[in-house]
Amino acid sequence: MRINGIDELGLEIFHIYDPRIVKIEDVFLVSAAVDVEGGCRIAIFSTKDFKEMDLIHMGDVDSRNAVLFPEKINGHYCLLDRPNNQFAGGVMSGSQICFSASTDLISWGRSVPVMSGNHHYWDELIGAGPPPIRTKEGWLLIYHGVATHFMSSNIYQAGVALLDANEPHKVLARCPANIFEPRESYELTGQVPNVVFPTGLLVDTSSEKPENCNEVLMYYGAADSSVCLAKTTIQKLLDCLK
């Protein structure tokens, strides 16, 4: 795939990875992590056909897990990301999800903290997972958490939080326990062991069921070696928050 604008940056790029995709109006927007000399940057690309993409924005601070909301909120594009400010297993990571907004996808306003990791729990280090789902109760966010206190291995798991519909930097509820963890052999063993890493989420709206009974399809990486699919419903995710 051709990526327009990437060569003009003047940066040596090592990897582009962890893409999250939303469609706003008739354009697909892809947020991704970009490894460059000196750290990681978040980038936003646009495409209509996935034959080529245009670079819209490249961040200038060390950050990862950039996730766009699937619709504008109060006329703004909205973004979650995770600043990299501490070491974890030899790489830079972070323990705080932040929120920012933009009218043009290029200039982003002040970054506002949304929620932080919990020391000695399953989610010591955290980052946004797939793009949030809008529900009647607010934005459902599945996020990943990393337990680092086992010393021998970091364990990547997933949890769920509910963000305010109009002010998504406000957390309305957050499940204290994880909702998903590595248990199968292909999740426990691979290039990076003990990892479930959700990045894609689809809601099946084809049935005539009430909204909260719609099936949710969650695509996730397993041990950085396989792509997997898990199924649930919006109601089951909301029940985790009670």
Range 234-241 average pLDDT: 94
Q: Which of 38-47, 96-105, 205-214 has the lowest mean pLDDT?
A: 205-214
Number of domains in the chain: 1
Average pLDDT over residues 81-101: 79
Whole-number pLDDT of residue 212: 76
**Cα separation of 168 and 100, whole Å?**
10
Q: Determine what percent of the chain is predicted with pLDDT higher than 90.
A: 79
3-state DSSP assignment of residue 4: strand
Rounded Cα–Cα distance for residues 175 and 148 (Å): 19
- pLDDT tens readout for residues 109-157: 889 999 999 988 999 999 999 999 999 999 999 999 999 887 667 899 9
Query: What pLDDT is stored for residue 162 in this prediction?
Result: 98
Tell me the per-residue pLDDT of 156-180, one tens digit each, with 9 for 90 and over.
999 999 999 999 999 999 999 999 9
Sheet holding 215-222, edge to edge: 196-203, 215-222, 226-233
Domain that holds residue 136: 2-239
In this structure, what CATH number is given to the domain that contains residue 130?
2.115.10.20
Mean residue pLDDT across the chain: 92
